Amino acid sequence: MRHPSRRPQGVAQSHIVDGGLHHQLAASGNFGQVIRKNYPVAIANRMGVPGAEAVSVVGCLCTPLDLLARDVCLPRGEIGDLVAVFQARAYGMTAGPTAFLGHQTPTEVLV
Residue 39 contacts residue 26 (beta carbons within 8 Å): yes
- pTM as predicted: 0.78
Verify whether residue 73 is a known catalytic residue. Answer: no
Q: With b meaning 16 or more CB within 10 Å and e meaning fewer, what string describes 41-79?
A: bbbeeeeeeeeeeebbbbbbbeeebbbbbeebebbebee
The string of pLDDT tens digits covering residues 10-56 is: 556 888 888 888 888 888 877 767 788 888 999 999 999 999 889 99
Catalytic pick among 11, 62, 90, 109: 62
